[in-house]
Amino acid sequence: MTRQSFITVLVGTSELLREGLIRILDAEKFRILSSADCVHDLLQKPLPQNRSILLIMDVGGTDANAGFAQIADFKAIYPSSHVVALADNCRSNDIVSAFRAGADAYLTKAAARETFIKTIELVMLGQTVLPAETSMFIQDIWPSKKYDAAHDLAKVAIKTEDEERELSALSNREKNILHFLIEGESNKIIARKINIAEATVKVHVKAILRKIRVRNRTQAAVWAMNHGLLTPSAGNGLSGNEKIAIQPSHDPQELIEAQKGYRFLESTHPM
């Protein structure tokens, strides 16, 4: 789905934070419908039923449980909506509570702008995004499934020892193209910027996806950010709470099936 196919609504007690998010999202061509202090105020006017809805919910502050309750209320009315929870920190109990309430992603406010946007894009694709720290308590989120949580999430976490070897397997040209994927550039723009044929860029993109074992450009961009390729000039990747793990869908059974590696949805963006 494209950004314009979603309507985005923001909820949080900090008007300053909401205004900042609106500026960021507007610059990225998201369609912002409304912003409110709480879900109750947001729902005073019914949201369109024929459009996909993205709720970005601030669950920070002194009463995180109130934020989780609002997520649950929103999901009860709009069960097919997508929810990104923004938190002040990465506490295991809060992460579990957020996903039990119906969140699709949990991200701290310390995350970089690029990480924030890529997380939203992943959620729009129907994927679940968790902090990498969740590997030891993933079963608390989906308690009905019995499996080795630490082992499974290690298979789908962005940064692994195998992926470090994959990074070293990329050529300098491929790493350069990954920078442009982070920026969301098309093959045509990339070709123009590095003075090669567009068809050659497409070949390089296919090689990148194969080498790092992902299925689309968005996944490649997130992978690159976690491996030190955040910007063309930066030498540092994401750190601390910015590292994320991706689950391919909302279905707990598919989390188990993810043991064999990445299982991403097909990209709607042409290679």
CA distance 126 to 82: 8
pLDDT for residue 243: 55
pLDDT for residue 229: 61
Stated pTM of the model: 0.58
* Tokens read off for 231: 């910007």
Longest Cα–Cα distance in the chain: 54
* Tokens read off for 31: 């369609």
- Which DSSP letter does residue 260 get? G
CA distance 162 to 171: 17
- Short-list 35, 47, 50, CA closest to 5: 50
pLDDT for residue 264: 33
- Short-list 4, 1, 21, CA closest to 12: 21
The residue written with tokens 């750190």 in the block is 239
Q: Which of 7-16, 194-203, 225-234 has the lowest mean pLDDT?
A: 225-234
Structural domains for the chain: 3-109 (3.40.50.2300), 156-235 (1.10.10.10)
CA distance 242 to 225: 10
- Name the range with the highest mean pLDDT among 16-25, 132-141, 182-191: 16-25
pLDDT for residue 14: 92
* Tokens read off for 163: 């992926």
